[in-house]
A and B are shown apart, each in its own frame.
Chain A
Amino acid sequence: MVQLPRWQAILVVAICALGTLLMIPTFLSKDTLDSLPGWFPKHQITLGLDLQGGSHLLLEVDVNAILEEDLAAILDQVRTSFRQAQIGYRNLAVRNKAVEFELVDPASTDAAQNALKDLRTGNEIQSDGTRFTIRPTEVSIRDRQRAAVEQSIEIVRRRIDETGTAEPLIQMQGRDRIVVQLPGVNDPERIKRLLGKTAKMTFHLVDPNTPRVPSGTPAPPGSMALPPDKADGPDAGFNYVVRKKVEVAGDRLVDAQPTFQNNEAVVSFRFDSIGAKKFADITRQHVGEPFAIVLDDKVISAPVIREPILGGSGVISGSFTPQSAKDLAVLLRAGALPAPLVVLEERVVGPSLGVDSIKGGLLAGYVATALICAFMIGAYGLLGTFACIAMVFNIVLIGSALALMGSALTLPGIAGIILTMGMSVDANVLIYERIREEVRNGRSPVSAIDAGFKRAFGTIVDSHLTTLFPSMLMFGFGSGPIRGFAITISIGVIVSLYTAIMVTRLLVVQWLRRSRPKALVL
């Protein structure tokens, strides 16, 4: 006998009602939603970037740059401490991700070991007496890199916040990657420009004898030749000769603002107390000498110090446009990235395409619903109608699950829902075809329906599970939009297992009870 315990019937109705209730907020405006009482569900389906328009950037932190920087620092330290301890060395260089050198006098091994003791934490020091290798340990490299990625995320967030982008999503992905999603930003050039600079700012003294050399000329020891920031400015073809020693660094800045001076766009800055003191000392001792402001190994300007600057604030001028002055101020306020960022992947959808995609997706959904319903009703009559009602609840429940989970609906996601509609009636087809067979075998309507539901059940579970596996794997390997597709398909398969069996069953049971048909027309 076909029947459904009362509690199950109530559960089916309750789940469908709840699903419908959860779908309502998606169709309401934000204002209407806020005015509703507190118990009313507020979760709306969020649209993916491909539907609402926006930019998706996958950035990679160049962690090798950090290792190189560390090795350079170790090399510097070896040189300084050996000079202090007066130990002779040769062939000091970075090779195979390690710092290597040889001692001139094998007798100085102990002295060398002693001079290197500060480098022992985080590094592995090997030596055969004269030949030394200093190599950062795996653990310390990993820790440094993780810290760098975390710090990068923080800096990226600050820089993006400075641009006033609404609701950016910034997340770590994998070991050294950062996902940045910017809803509504359809020209990410400015943001990419901001993220493309490490923005390491340093102040250096300039060699007073030869402040400039033609590019290509090597700098004297202790100095480096850096190109001007503006390649087409008056300094084109020349490099500045600046001292390697960093007098003050950008991390001492507490504020930077774009402003105007003599009708020229400039950036004003202010140091913290330590920075201000250093800055005051330098400018006092070097009046009349040029002082280079260096950003990412390029000289923005090298003005001559006219008088000591004691207040800790100053102005950078360097043929800026108002926009580039603004950008530089943003970069200086947000701080320097520990390592350069590379854009690995970029996906941008403009608002016009997003609107078209939503329109197309909805239309396709309506047409598919109409076609499938017409076909099912044509084939199975009233039972087909029941299948269609179950299918509609299937869509409603997928929607409410998406709203609850907060996972974004993408264009492939819509495709997944539409495809699920076609596949979800499969469970009904299986049941109904079975009922047809049982009727042909001479069973009464009630017993045929009973047998149909019972016997089709195992097949339905098998076939649904085999559909579920690939979708879940897709979720594992896919990026953004594909994940949206995999999510809707997976939810759809699970939900349809419920709706196609239980909702249909409830409707069939009610119908049998009311009309007690003598014969089934199928």
Chain B
Amino acid sequence: MKRLRLVPDGTNINFMRLRFICFALGAIVILGSFVLFATKGLSYGIDFRGGTLVELRMPTTPDFGELRAKVGGLGLGEVTLQGFGEPTDVLVRIQAQEDGEKGNQRAIATLREAMGPDVDFRRVESVGPTVGEELRMAGLWAVLAAIAAILIYVTMRFEWQFGLGAVIGLVHDVIFIVGIFSLFGLDFDLTTLAAILTMGGYSINDKVVVYDRIRENLRKFRKMELAELINKSINDTLSRTTMTAVTVILSIAAMLVFGGPVIRTFNLAMMVGVVIGTYSSIFVSAPVLLYLGLKRKPDAAKEEATPARP
């Protein structure tokens, strides 16, 4: 029986030759993300900015112009309406009110009154400025702590060069995802952050597998040039890298299509994360080792005395 192969046996792509293009690409992406972040900024969700989000189900398909006029006339400041899922569903975002928590509460009550009993309030989320600020800080700390924890673990298990290489790839991934969210104006909220952290974990997992092979090959092929050795390791693990990426992409795709609109941006962030994380394992984190002054362990010489395993 013929087996499904994503990467044929004996594949030997010269990834290392592409490294300058990839580094340049990475630099452009990171720079571009910073420029976007500085100029366009992120469209923070209510978790971070404070404010109110309401998902309504109208009895009939609503006329958006009419609805907008009606909700806009309630004196709640900036209100945006957006179709969501079913044609009868509307997502209403109300800006954080000037008097904070009390204002948010008043806004919800005003909207409930204005909509009347026939409108189903499927979801109400309201975050006051205090909690918004706290969530923003907690989120930032979580990302930084995750990066630090990974740096420490990888350094402990490998050498510091590997730890640094993995973190360079990870930072590249995170900045890329943030850039995408800024570019398309997607809601950046707590779930997005959760997706980024998860994909950070996935991305590191992916890099560790390649690094594991590099370390193994460093012991096995003592005379091989470092660039060639890294290239071989990438190729050795390429089949696994792509297989796993595909299984994860399949599960995220299933959620993206069938999981409903509530967690759509969450899945979107994860999808972007898998793709970019897989890319950076191959094209960023592995090649960058070449420039981090990776040294072969002196005791590798002793190992050489005993013939390497086939």
Contacts and interface: CB of A to CB of B under 8 A. Distances in A.
B81 interface: no
Interface string A425-436: 110011001001
B141 A477 contact: yes
A285 interface: no
B48 interface: no
A73 to B, nearest CB: 26
B305 to A, nearest CB: 22
Contacts of B150: 466, 469-470
B202 interface: yes
A357 B262 contact: yes
Nearest to A387: B247
Contacts of A521: 1, 3
A478 B194 contact: yes
A486 B142 CA distance: 12
Nearest to A423: B248
A476 B244 CA distance: 28
Given A342-B101, A368-B250, A352 B122 contact: yes
A422 B254 CA distance: 11
A367 B243 contact: no
Contact of B142 (A361, A368, A473): A473
Given A346-B108, A353-B122, A430 B209 contact: yes
Interface residues of B, number: 79
A485 interface: yes
A128 interface: no
A367 B121 CA distance: 30
Interface in B5-32: 5-6, 9
A486 B194 CA distance: 8
B198 A429 contact: no
Interface string B247-273: 111111111011110110011001000
Most buried by A among B112, B204, B244: B244
Contact of B240 (A343, A419, A429): A429
A343 B251 contact: no
A150 B270 CA distance: 41
Given A352-B120, A360-B260, A344 B145 contact: no
A186 B3 contact: no
Contacts of A363: 258
A381 B3 contact: yes
B109 to A, nearest CB: 6
A433 B237 CA distance: 8
Contacts of B257: 364, 367
B36 interface: no
A415 to B, nearest CB: 6
Interface string B33-66: 0000000000000000000000101000000000
B243 A429 contact: yes
Given A364-B258, A473-B146, A479-B135, A411 B263 contact: yes
Contacts of A33: none
A462 B257 CA distance: 32
Interface stretch (B70-78, B126-134, B289-297): B126-134
Contact of B247 (A353, A425, A436): A425
Interface in B210-256: 212-213, 236-237, 239-240, 243-244, 246-255
Contacts of B4: 375, 378-379
Nearest to B112: A189
Interface in A351-403: 352-353, 356-357, 360-361, 363-365, 367-368, 371-372, 375-376, 378-381
A292 interface: no
A469 B149 contact: yes
B254 A368 contact: yes
Interface in A430-486: 430, 433, 436-437, 440-441, 458-459, 462-471, 473-474, 476-479, 481-482, 485-486
Main secondary structure of the interface of B (DSSP, over half): helix
Given A344-B128, A473-B145, A375 B201 contact: no
Nearest to A55: B124
Contact of A485 (B126, B194, B249, B260): B194
B208 interface: yes
Contacts, number: 228
A376 B310 contact: no
Contact of A430 (B108, B149, B240): B240
B139 A477 contact: yes
Contacts of B101: 342-344
A172 B140 CA distance: 25
Given A343-B128, A422-B248, A470-B146, A350 B122 contact: yes
Contacts of B213: 459
B159 to A, nearest CB: 14
A421 interface: yes
A437 B146 contact: no
Contacts of A375: 4, 246-247, 250
Interface string B178-208: 0000000000001100100110111011101
Interface string A337-348: 000001111111
A283 B74 CA distance: 48
A437 B237 CA distance: 10
A419 B123 contact: no
A522 interface: yes
Contacts of A71: none
Nearest to B121: A350
A253 B37 CA distance: 59
B204 A353 contact: no
B68 interface: no
Contact of B201 (A364, A411, A422, A471): A471
A207 interface: no
15 contacts: A192-B105, A345-B131, A346-B108, A347-B124, A364-B254, A372-B247, A379-B3, A418-B254, A421-B251, A422-B251, A436-B9, A466-B204, A466-B205, A478-B194, A479-B135
Interface of A: 50, 58, 60, 186-187, 189, 192, 196, 342-350, 352-353, 356-357, 360-361, 363-365, 367-368, 371-372, 375-376, 378-381, 411-412, 414-415, 418-419, 421-423, 425-426, 429-430, 433, 436-437, 440-441, 458-459, 462-471, 473-474, 476-479, 481-482, 485-486, 489, 521-522
Closest 3 CB pairs of A and B: A422-B251, A360-B260, A368-B254
